[in-house]
Chains A and B, each alone.
Chain A
Amino acid sequence: MMLEPVATLLLSMLSIPGMALIAGALAVPLLPTSARNAFMLALIAFSGWTVWQIAPDASLTARLAGIELTLLRVEAITKPFALVFHIAAALNVIYSMHEKARLTATAGLAYAGAAIAALFAGDFLTLFIYWELTTFASVFLVLAGNTPRATRAAMRYLLMQVASGVILLAGAVLLWRSGAGFAITALDATTPAGFCILLALGIKAGFPLLGGWLQDAYPEASPAGSVMLSAFTTKLAIYMLVICFAGFKPLIYIGLAMAIISLFAAMIENNLRRVLAIALVNQLGIMVVGIGIGSELAINGVTAHAFASVLYKGLLFMSMGAVFFRTGTDRADALGGLARHMPWTAGFCLIGALSIASMPLFSGFTTKALTLGAVAKQGELWVWLGLLFASVGVVLHTALRLPYAAFFATNPKIKAEEAPLNMRVAMGLAAGGCLVIGLYPSALYALLPYAVSYKVWDVGHVLGEVQLLVFVALIFALMVRRGLYPLSGADMVIYTDWIGRYALPRLIIGIGAPLMRLWNGAKDGFVALVLRLLRTGEEASRATGLASGVASTGAAAGIFLALFALILLIRIVI
């Protein structure tokens, strides 16, 4: 009788999008490779179908220890995020089909499932559970890099992600104590609860100084792992920021800092997958600016941009992953000339590059334009100029430098095979997505939370964008021709990951080493003191035969007995 409600709850929980993926991930290690991929794609299709037909007022609640949990709730922006997460999950499965590793497949599916289910969480406790599940599933993707460096990066990644989870939980508890309950709603970032939650989201969204884990861990993962990582964690944080902090003005400047500071590091870094990770922060920065603006057009912009960027960023990570898979390196100075050997990968990479560059007819143009338009409509000239400046940076370091370094720079010695078929199919589908959004943006606009009245195909707007792009490309070509490329002989850059990889360990050792010396000194002193006391006692007992020594057992028992009797006496008298 008691089991019936539990069974009903379990069954209804399967109606939560993403839950089928989490449950199914448990079965993945048991399946043979051939069945595994079909099984995972079927699960994703089922879960995606539940999102497609979900009612806007769908809800599922449960009571646990007197607390009402909202396991399912649909916001206006939930559907587009959930759909693109499903697309990314499916592309990831196709992209990693050639891999035999069960762990990556299991972790990847659970990670995607947890991220999708988190979108539908209606309270912070439910969110916390999925938040932690994304952490623990995704750390295996970093570990799958299978190098000592990847292991260390994975531990740092875990530390930061768990810190984000703990701060989120602290914020949730503070919120509950303030009498607001656990519900996920718009929050005031100036209250302690709001601040904690903003900080937790900020770690995952790559806020300045908090996002070092991103460029630390993502490039160390396996090729398929970094593609999976690029889609979910950061976009989940963006989604939560939209729900909780839309219109919080300081986000405009936080976002601008993210978008601009990352430019210079991405221009010099030699590891191309790290360039992509740093450039990811730049894209997130533009979204955070949009959240800070908070108007309907801006939120549409953030949602559309997040949707498009999951595809083009994923596509770029896929192409660099394919390069790494075939050549064993992702270092710019060791690559070049691959266009001849991997023409398909090069072509798909260019589509990703044109998309991120906001070239008209590609997905960046039809999505990022909404955020820029929202900033312009608010009359924020300096913010608008800042975003335009950041866009020029993206064109330089991702759209031009990345394909040039991998595929077109002179490297007569390089030899590589074209990417495996499954990788090409995944890249082709992602590239197709970029083109569909670029050519028929109305299909994506229909999914957005508010009606879109913005005229994206304004002729003057198209002309301005094209002018910007061709002149930036001209400057880049001039730079290459003048022999200024590569910009530096440095192999890597120290960026915000420096805090976790260099400063903190040294700070801890710097403070810890003297403390350890002090502790060791005190411990040795104490032991010496005890030994001396024992020796003194021994000598005394030899003299008196009372407190210690061979003859002491009877004497000690006598003393304790006397004390016990005294205590009893006191107790009786009082």
Chain B
Amino acid sequence: MGDKTETSLILRRVMRGLLALCALGLLGEVLIHRHAYFALEATPFFFALFGIIAASLIIGGSMVAARLIGRAPDYYGGDDDA
């Protein structure tokens, strides 16, 4: 149990660090002009938004995919020695 609370403590710190980095990333956008190839790319905070949407889609998609293509370890027959 001690290990579990320690992990969640670390996780909380990691989360805090990440949130700080995200804030910095967004602040950078206000200060720096991004050169864009496409009009879409010039949308404010494009990469942050794209990251959030794409990651959520991939995680959600994988949960659906797991039901379709996930299998038990002996699916291809026995002698599972991994």
A contacts, CB < 8 Å to B: 147-149, 263-265, 267-268, 271, 329-331, 376-377, 379, 381, 384-385, 388-389, 392-393, 395-396, 410, 412, 458-461, 463-481, 484, 487-495, 501-502
Contact = CB atoms under 8 A, between A and B. Distances in A.
B4 A376 contact: no
A271 to B, nearest CB: 6
Contacts of B26: 467
Contact of B50 (A381, A468, A477, A493): A468
Most A-side CB within 10 Å, residue of B45, B47, B80: B47
Contact of A470 (B7, B25, B63, B82): B25
A149 B67 CA distance: 25
B55 to A, nearest CB: 4
B35 A461 contact: yes
Mostly helix, strand, loop or mixed at chain A's interface? helix
Contact of A389 (B29, B33, B45, B54): B54
Contacts of B56: 475
A490 B74 CA distance: 11
B22 A474 contact: yes
Contacts of B61: 263-264
Given A376-B37, A470-B22, A475-B51, 20 more contacts: A147-B81, A264-B62, A329-B82, A330-B82, A381-B40, A384-B38, A392-B50, A460-B36, A463-B47, A464-B34, A465-B47, A466-B21, A466-B25, A467-B47, A471-B47, A472-B52, A475-B56, A477-B14, A484-B63, A493-B70
Nearest to A377: B37
Interface residues of B, number: 53
Nearest to B49: A471
Which A-B residue pairs are the 8 nearest by beta carbons?
Answer: A490-B70, A488-B66, A460-B34, A471-B51, A267-B62, A376-B37, A475-B55, A392-B54
B66 A487 contact: yes
B62 to A, nearest CB: 4
A474 B36 CA distance: 25
A478 B14 CA distance: 10
Contacts of A392: 50-51, 54-55, 58
A483 to B, nearest CB: 11
Contact of B11 (A149, A265, A481, A502): A481
A487 B63 contact: yes
A384 B70 CA distance: 30
A263 B58 contact: yes
Contacts of A480: 11
Nearest to B63: A487
Contact of A268 (B33, B46, B69): B69
B18 A477 contact: yes
A466 to B, nearest CB: 6
5 contacts: A460-B36, A465-B47, A472-B54, A475-B55, A477-B11
Given A268-B66, A384-B38, A487 B59 contact: yes
Contacts of A491: 70-73
